[in-house]
Structure 1
């Protein structure tokens, strides 16, 4: 009877976990797997089950492998943990082994997994001398050896370097034949690599880089050049910051470099032949997505080369059934034999059709697994007569036209929409195709010059590719489109009709605008924070000296009033610098898990005095509100700043409402905000019935020192402070406002999972 191996997986995908289980199953085990992703789910799994081994990724999205090792030490100290990593990282390897990991295995070398697990299980039963949890150096040495790596230890003051035995073996030196110091090591460096190596090393010694890393060549005892990857880090500095000791690792990467050079040569040879083939040739993966097409293919189907990669082959078929037959049916789809040539009616990028003879053969990897298809298409339209093309193709073309996600259209030179598909109507806000066809294309842009300039450009160029336009939907909202259009001209050169399609590019433009704004705010924050720190130092001197002056003056001193004014002004300036530091996210904070409702209720008492009697204040708080992790003082700053702005916008009185709720942010909403992640959030909403803001003001409200108030009535840092706090706590803000309709600020803060 097979022994069941209970394996806890941390962080790997479902497919990767299945692969790990399959690899371990080769050892004659029945495999029981469970996957966890966070500290809380790991603790829960450890509490209800006994695990034979834990397999973890090194880079985890929600917590680190070092934290996982600590949890294992506290809850199941005898259970071994093995790191299975995508990348070879010597620093990660050292850190993991030092923290207690039993081994460090690359995903590319999974053949090591089963022996490593067996060794860990044997060690668990009866720890072998020198390989138990307390012998970090031994386990590290073993891990480095199987990963083809070694250690070096450099005394910077004396120049002495200690190399592990693998280093001498790598270069072919006998034991004791090589004098281990900096000068002899530099003598082995390739002349072309010395400048780069010395620069990288000096940069790290001076503290300008977090670690030292280079790939360079060393001369072996036989005079051959060996490629090595060298990584290191300063582990000891003196009181003045000078480096005293550096420890690192090295790896022989000569095989990789030779493989890369060979691959470059073979790639160049392949590209020369592939590009010279006169027939249309295309490679696609098992999903029928194009991975590579030669120039003849691009020319035949009238596509630029950079537009084809990743597109489905389906875009070339006029009849979807032909594509489905090719992709999904019969032994041809799943087998490894070449598919006989057959004639198919294809369509080009412009919509024109061609009859092509297609020959297809599967492509296999070194293990014989099919990884895609190679297709050759020959244009045989010339040998077809008009009557040979089935009339049913017109029906298929119409169906494709109707179902296309881009907005297809044909218009007259005067702008009358002669025909269009449902996507065109949807993009421009028409209720139906019939309603769209009652309109005029040139009315989609209110600029009276648009029609003349568009027609002039089309008559000159004959066709417009990737032409960007700013148009208006039927409801007046701006829509950005990218269009491809072709003019149909008569024999005398007059423009008879215009056909083309438009793609809605509004979403990309919005994201691009958000990114630019985010970068600008980040730059302003960095600049403001640097200035604020220096300014704060100056204020400390001014404030301290004003205190000294006041201590030495009596109450009748004629200069006392001036000294008191200096002190008061320095305090006000200190408040400003604190706000600037908040915006730049450089102030010291003490975040903790809090109930947002409690903070709102406490601040509300202060706000009643702050906003005045003319303004009604209401709170709408969700009693089952989730917790957030933030410094409560920062929440108070957010609420007070927004409330003060609302008060100033309601000079004649009004209503201020503060609300809280639990919300779920989906991918679509998160995609509208740079750095926002989909998930569970707590919402803090502050709304007023004040004057509101126009769209131009909304673009600038979070910029430091921007204010719409009169001179002397505001610093322009209130909303900048709010922005800085929210960003610092991994949240985001939505603002809704229109002139005369008030404003609402929605603050989204990540909700803490229960038990955290």
Structure 2
């Protein structure tokens, strides 16, 4: 019995020992679990502290129950207190901006279905103040259901509102800058000197030159140089090479040159650029602005021409004034001499015979007519320039008119031993003209022919295409080719033609040209030096049916007397 009891005691002691060992193990495990829990708590506190310190919020979503836990930082990010947002997924949905819902749900579902490896989404949430804030949400699935569906998804919320606003401002600034470049009158560019290609060219270049951006961006420097006008290319190449050879950023270079556009036209451009040489392995660039200055160049050229014309006119006027002084002085001196002579005869009581008196009076009268012709030409030229010269157009038989003028002048020509002939194949041709102006035109041309011819003047009239052509030809010394373009200019004289016997003010042919042009016609000269001149007047054949333009009928006596007076005035500068 004692033996059995001893055995039981031994068993009991063994069990107690085992219990002590189990108890020790349990106490150790409990202590370890406690330490683990404390470490987890500490880690959680550190994580929360880190998240709160970074300003980010935390969320934890049960994808099965739709329970959503939002951290204090998550709520505070939007300005809400902890009790103002419930732990429901629907709270997030309600705060989501309507315009962002579709894209936010699309990104979330793509991640849950495994289409993308990570959840990363940007959207706007409504803050407590009613404004929307941009949020960056990142998350990860941390547990799955037994059938492999996402159970818990946890993640962070970051406030990216400032970044988004900056991005928007940057986009707007870039858009404004792009608009400035696009709608500017100048083209901006950047050329990579290492690759020898343009890596940027504003769209304005296409508008300025006609080349597309694709065409210009592939052009190397030699191709560009070939499109520069040959007269400008050497200077452009030299200045570009000098700028490229400098280290660092060069000064701004401005070059004007002509560039061949796509339509085959050369246009003037101002190219302002700066060369920047890269350091070490960095490339070198040339930054520039391309400006079309064709209009400015043309204006400058026009101003230069206008200045030359003004200076030429000034010289011509000076020459004219000098010549006019002589033209005025000569007839005045002759007339004054005659008056003084008559005064002397009267003072001395000398006898004045008829022949002497007639001779002096004739010279005085001719010189008075020279003055009258000169004054008339000056006044009429001024009127034409000012637009105050009024023609009186009538329908007139031009053949009859020219024939009458030729017959009236032929007697005067005979006195000068000049044979004046009139020829026409046309019997009659009605045109609208100013009779007085036609007479003046013809008298001026015939007067010049009589001055310089050797012994004959031929007046010919014939029909052209819609025009009547009047030709006055002499066999005098003629006009050198280089002087034929200036004889119709105001105040111009071909000096070699003028001798003491043949003088003029330089107004007559200019005035004649203006009178012809007032009829819608033109006047020209053909001449070979030493073989005479041919002045050709072309007048349009037009007939006005207006009652005011009835056919002009000549009064034989009255009109002839007026014409002779005109002829005497026009021929007054031809010396006896």
With normalisation by structure 1, the TM-score equals 0.29
Higher relative contact order (CA 8 A, sep 6+): 2
Which one has the largest radius of gyration?
Answer: 2
Which structure shows the bigger proportion of residues in strand conformation? Answer: 1
Which structure shows the bigger proportion of residues in helix conformation? Answer: 2
